[in-house]
Structure 1
Amino acid sequence: MIKKFVTLLLVLINTTVLVAQQHNMSKTYQAPTDELVKKKLNNWQDLKFGLFMHWGTYSQWGVVESWSICPEDEGWTQRKGPYGATYNGYLKAYENLQTTFNPVKFNPEKWVAAAKSAGMKYVIFTTKHHDGFSMFDTKQTDYKITSAKTPFSSNPRSNVTKEIFNAFRKENFMIGAYFSKPDWHSEDYWWPYFPPKDRNVNYDPAMHPDRWQKFKDFTYNQIGELMTDYGKVDILWLDGGWVRPKSTIDTTVDWQRGIKFNQDINMPKIAGMARSKQPGLIVVDRTVTGEFENYTTPEQQVPETPLDHPWETCITMGDSWSYVPNDHYKTAHQIVQLLVKIVSRGGNLLLNIGPGPDGDWDPVAYSRLSEVSAWMQVNGEGIYGSTSVAPYSTGNVYYTKAKNANTIYAFVLADKDGVKLGKTVIIKVNHVKAIKKVTMLGFKQSLKYKLTGDDLVITIPAAIQNNTAARYASTLKVTY
């Protein structure tokens, strides 16, 4: 009997971080018309597994990225330490982190090796988060990692965005630039004439059009730098969805109701410029429905059914997006099964790891990717280049279909490490009239089977019923 997957899978996560970063998906999707964009988007959908990295000066304190300087009375803006007595004192100390940021263990090739081994195929890096600190050599501000104020600027690899992009590109990763549309350091976004009230611009752009134009030019120029000076870029991943035309605000979404002003930064101009420099560029203007949200990005969750358009869910390996000492990391078991569930719904998994203040990952992150690697080497065939196929899941079995072949993969998820199968496994193969061959990935022999309607009853030999090599999920391959 088919069990409908009726609940929304919420991943283990720190509650305050989830609320701070929660993004409701757009209710409609507008497919791109540019043939180069459509081709790249199609290729991106085949990759399935990507690496996300949130990194900035905030890692030195081990606090949530950017949000602690936002004057909203929410759990994620709590200020800890000796500078929390006043907002201005805390902000000054936070921005002064620039003068001590020195990640001397920075070695992107080490990250590439771990990510590639684990089967990741693309990377999204935070070139600038909401706090406005640029992790690239922008000419628009001195609040950047390459500034003389920053100790790491003397390092030959101080332009970390360029170093990361180059290192991953050499191993054929798709390259994605995360960029925050709001900039809380910019005096043209948070004008010092007024105190900031919340995450939004702190003045009415309609009343001060010259100042807002300066901010638009600043944003346009920074994105232009990223599209010009950093090699081939495949994805422009824009965050901070409250910076948007007022006409696009969805008042049924709680956080969007707080947007009081029209914060239009002229996305047609930005995207046009970016694609003139990077033909086929995928643009992801998160939560802003329309032609510049080429795929949607549910966050920290797995949709219960396949979506009718390209999508990617971004999920933290730990409890936080940015580095936190002694963070609680998901097990390899959880990561693999999340990947299987997401791919069975037709999506991609963008798994986040936050580098520490020294420029390296927590050793646990490397360990997790190594464990994932062992599973992917055997079972990745059913992940890459696949599409969703009904019934998507039955009980603990999740399905994918090869994109260009008559092949269905059925992933039998384990409750604990080591898959224990019975003498038979029943999977659903809807509307399949004849089977050519059934195997289990990692084993050469063909398996006996019987097809009755949509039920495929597979006989599992005793020698592989206890498939400890698979650990997290065994994969049955059905060719028809």
Structure 2
Amino acid sequence: MHPKQKTAVLTLLFFSLMGFAKGQNTIHPVSTEYQYPEDPRVAEKLEHWRDQKFGMLIHWGIYAVPGIIESWSLCNEDWITRGDSNVAYHDYKQWYWGLKDQFNPTGFDPDQWAEAAEKAGIKYVVFTTKHHDGFNMFDTQYTDYKISGGPFKNHPKADVAKHVFDAFRERDMMIGAYYSKPDWHSQDFWWDYYATPDRNVNYDIRKHPERWQRYVDFTHNQINELTTNYGDIDILWLDGGWVRPRNTVTEEVIAWGAPIPEFDQEINMPKLAEMARKNQEGLLIVDRTVHGPFENYRTPEQGIPSTMSEDPWESCITLGGAWGYVPNDKFKSAEKVIHLLIEIVAKGGNLLLGVGPTADGVFLPEQVERLEEIGEWMNINGEAIYETRALPDFQDGQVYFTKGKDASVYALATNSKNGKVSWSVNLPATNSKMQLLGYTKPLKWAVENGKVVVTLPKGIPAQPAYAFKYSVD
């Protein structure tokens, strides 16, 4: 994930392409319209994924050892901070690479993660098999830079990704493999012969095509491992959107601030996708920000689009302030996460909640507590979230709306006033019953001046949000 968030730009660009920045007029972008998958097996899995609504993104790697931001401190761009400004860049990189010799998570407990996710009502997981730093959290045979190549190698759970996927699969969750297309540790991406001025490949691919081909082969080989050796995989979640054909560069990519090379950083996605889907029938592929046939759903980050979309999408938002573990992180309240989930689902999306384990491989008690609190609300109100779709009138003030597959409408109120909740869109049918989820008796309601007013039962416990079920004409 990218820590330098541009929420306003992201919101604008999620559904439309803006004009290109001055100086980038040599780039001729392809269409940014969403392309629904043509393969019926992929389409079927996509609709199943849309029903799940709530997922967990787990960032875990050597960056957890010192408790720093994942990978990005290796990048030599002017927005990066590294703490000690007296440390030379070369020395810093050597220190960071060397963290592999300290990463020994003997407390690694994927069952704790999966249990906490299940209690929260989470239905799918995306786990970082490799972030941009190139450190592999699975037992790849194509590099020794991996969790199973350091002090953890003799542990019975040394093949970390396998045990994470198994733990979540046992709870009937969809399985997603996060994989970074750039690999800053690879000599075929960041070649030591040259400096590493930014996030891009640091040599001219046109002058060294054989080196780049080795990198493409390496990438395909690793994806082949992930899609053959780790059981059923539902989602291949590809990060590092600057590794892409040059003609797919959009204003969003330009807004990241990194230079746009004069050549393609192309990894042959058609061939990669064909291979991965031969291994995993119906596999969803999420080539983030590279709009086209291999971006099966969109992934806005640390923000929510301002409008509803019928196209599939997922907001990636952290539980704390960081994707991975950092000391003394401040976590969002359960109520805040529930409100985010409600707004996202009402606008047609899923929430992918970022939770980072410690260097020892466990969730903090505060993280577990938050997830349990979210689950308490979901146990009562999940009917208004799961397997729903968006309505054109998705919001009226602090009330959001979803529709069930049986044509029921749900109104989710994130606030009430004087024991009453009201809204003026998606009005109930004249003879409709008004049900409060978690409460067995019908509620009193009336339409007054084009607005429905619902009276909450006396003594009803306070909730982060109230979910009402009713029918419309």
| TM-score by shorter chain over 0.5 | yes
Q: Secondary structure at the match of 1:301?
A: coil
The whole-number CA distance in structure 2 between the counterparts of 1:132 and 1:406 is: 47
What is aligned with 1:11? Answer: none
What is aligned with 1:127? Answer: 129
1:39 aligned partner, one-letter code: E
What is aligned with 1:117? Answer: 119
Deviation of residue 219 (structure 1)?
0.3
Q: How does 1:193-342 map to 2 (within 5 A)?
A: 193-251=193-251, 253-255=254-256, 258-260=259-261, 261-342=263-344
The partner residue of 2:470 within 465, 471, 478 is 478
The whole-number CA distance in structure 1 between the counterparts of 2:72 and 2:35 is: 31
**1:264-285 per-position Cα deviation (integer Å, ceiling 9, x unaligned):** 1000000000000001000000
**1:438-470 per-position Cα deviation (integer Å, ceiling 9, x unaligned):** 111111111122346863332333343xx32x2
The whole-number CA distance in structure 2 between the counterparts of 1:344 and 1:110 is: 30
Q: Secondary structure at the match of 2:446?
A: strand
The whole-number CA distance in structure 1 between the counterparts of 2:239 and 2:14 is: 13
2:469 aligned partner, one-letter code: K
Asked if residue 72 in structure 1 is aligned to residue 64 in structure 2, the reply is no
The whole-number CA distance in structure 2 between the counterparts of 1:411 and 1:119 is: 17
The whole-number CA distance in structure 2 between the counterparts of 1:187 and 1:33 is: 37
Deviation of residue 289 (structure 1)?
1.0
2:47 aligned partner, one-letter code: N
2:174 aligned partner, one-letter code: M
Where does the alignment leave 5 or more consecutive residues of structure 2 unmatched? 17-32
The whole-number CA distance in structure 1 between the counterparts of 2:151 and 2:434 is: 59
The partner residue of 1:376 within 372, 378, 382 is 378
Deviation of residue 434 (structure 1)?
3.5
Q: Is the 8 A contact 1:249 1:256 kept in 2?
A: no
The whole-number CA distance in structure 1 between the counterparts of 2:279 and 2:268 is: 17
**1:298-337 per-position Cα deviation (integer Å, ceiling 9, x unaligned):** 1011111112310000000010111100101001110111
The whole-number CA distance in structure 2 between the counterparts of 1:17 and 1:242 is: 14
Deviation of residue 254 (structure 1)?
2.1
How large is the RMSD of aligned CA atoms in angstroms?
2.0
The partner residue of 1:447 within 443, 446, 451 is 443
The whole-number CA distance in structure 1 between the counterparts of 2:392 and 2:250 is: 32
Q: Structure 2 vs 1, CA of residues 383 and 247 (structure 1 numbering), >3 Å: closer, same or farther?
A: same
Q: How does 1:150-189 map to 2 (within 5 A)?
A: 150-189=150-189
1:348 aligned partner, one-letter code: N
The whole-number CA distance in structure 1 between the counterparts of 2:132 and 2:361 is: 20
Q: Is the 8 A contact 1:451 1:457 kept in 2?
A: yes
Q: Is the 8 A contact 1:250 1:256 kept in 2?
A: no
Q: Is the 8 A contact 1:125 1:177 kept in 2?
A: yes
**1:141-200 per-position Cα deviation (integer Å, ceiling 9, x unaligned):** 0000111xx111111001110000011001110000000000000000011111111000
Q: Is the 8 A contact 1:332 1:372 kept in 2?
A: yes
Q: Secondary structure at the match of 2:353?
A: strand
Q: Is the 8 A contact 1:285 1:293 kept in 2?
A: yes
Q: Secondary structure at the match of 2:256?
A: helix
What is aligned with 1:408? Answer: 409
The whole-number CA distance in structure 2 between the counterparts of 1:123 and 1:291 is: 23
The whole-number CA distance in structure 2 between the counterparts of 1:96 and 1:131 is: 12
What is aligned with 1:90? Answer: 92
2:5 aligned partner, one-letter code: L
What is aligned with 2:21? Answer: none
The partner residue of 1:395 within 387, 394, 397 is 397
Q: Secondary structure at the match of 1:258?
A: coil
Deviation of residue 388 (structure 1)?
1.1
